[in-house]
Amino acid sequence: MSLYLIAEIGINHNGDLAIARKLIEAAADAGFDAVKFQKRTVEEVYTKEYLDGPRESPWGTTQREQKMGLEFSDADYREIDALCKDLGLDWSASAWDVNAQKFLRGFDLPFNKVASAMLGHKPLLREIASEGRKTFISTGMATLDEIDEVVDLFKVANCPFELMHCNSAYPMQIEDANLKCIPMLRERYGCDVGYSGHETALLAVCLPAVVMGATSIERHITLDRAMYGSDQAASVEIHALANLVKVLRAVPAILGNGEKVIGEAELATRDKLRVDVED
């Protein structure tokens, strides 16, 4: 199975469709398979008390203004949908509530995504699984018992899924990657397992993740790590995307098939350098 690469735009667009367009185009130019956003019905995800609380942001002085400033409208997503289709790029979004998932259903997306924070949201999980659409499930912050419950829910619904090993620290220190969880999860659940990363290093974790058998890679992307936003610092800047894709896609060829053969290039060297001395 070929490696599926997802560029997580998330909320790094800062509510600006022009920034989203630049990120989408950069992901397509670099050779990613998909881009992904996040979708919230703000008044459902957060309490009124929380939303009325103070928070300085480019949009105002309350949590509500900050959260609403990060949300795209239906018209915005229609533009995103059209642009991705023009570029031959898949797109989706991780919903944080049931109504957000229902909203996304109107776009007939190629896959769904469950964010790590949503693994305990059973109504949302059931709503997603009911669609029977391929679903990537991040496993950050979750115990194996909790992952068992989610996997059972998707199996009962007969909904295809792929787990994604994940550490939800932002940013994650590379020594906390614990990539041996990839084959462990694959064996335990009998499914494909990808990797969703939040580290600042470009290849230090993603490359060995693919070597360990990850079938998908999801990385946050940004125009500039110094931009406003909680996810920017753990993202890959767009100038580095093409090299990331090039190296990751080369892994299958680098690993080869495990058969010990002498290729033509090596034969030429053998003819020049090989020393054979009989007893």
Rounded to whole angstroms, the Cα distance separating 167 from 183 reads 16
Q: Which domain holds residue 170?
A: 4-273
Q: How does 206-225 read in b/e, with b if 16+ C-beta sit within 10 Å?
A: bbbbbebebbbbbbbbbbeb
Asked if 167 and 178 touch (Cβ cutoff 8 Å), the reply is yes
Structure token digits, residue 4 = 């599926």
Dihedral angle of Cα 125, 129, 130, 134, to the nearest 10 degrees: 140
Structure token digits, residue 173 = 């220190």
Whole-number pLDDT of residue 263: 92
Crossing angle of helices 74-87/17-30, nearest 10°? 20
**Domain with 61 in it: what CATH number?**
3.20.20.70
In a domain, 126, yes or no: yes
- Alpha carbon separation from 244 to 9, 163, 171, 240, 247 (Å, rounded): 16, 22, 18, 6, 5
In a domain, 278, yes or no: no
In tens, the pLDDT along 209-240 reads: 999 999 999 999 999 999 999 999 999 999 99
In a domain, 232, yes or no: yes
22: which residues sit within 8 A by CB, 6+ positions away?
Answer: 223, 238
Asked if 133 and 109 touch (Cβ cutoff 8 Å), the reply is yes
In tens, the pLDDT along 175-185 reads: 999 999 999 99
Whole-number pLDDT of residue 1: 60
In a domain, 22, yes or no: yes
In a domain, 218, yes or no: yes
In tens, the pLDDT along 7-46 reads: 999 999 999 999 999 999 999 999 999 999 999 999 999 9
pLDDT band with cut points at 50, 70 and 90 for residue 279: confident
In a domain, 279, yes or no: no
Asked if 161 and 150 touch (Cβ cutoff 8 Å), the reply is no
Mean pLDDT of the chain: 97
In tens, the pLDDT along 107-124 reads: 999 999 999 999 999 999
The pairing of beta strand 161-166 with beta strand 193-197: parallel
Per the structure, the count of domains in the chain is 1
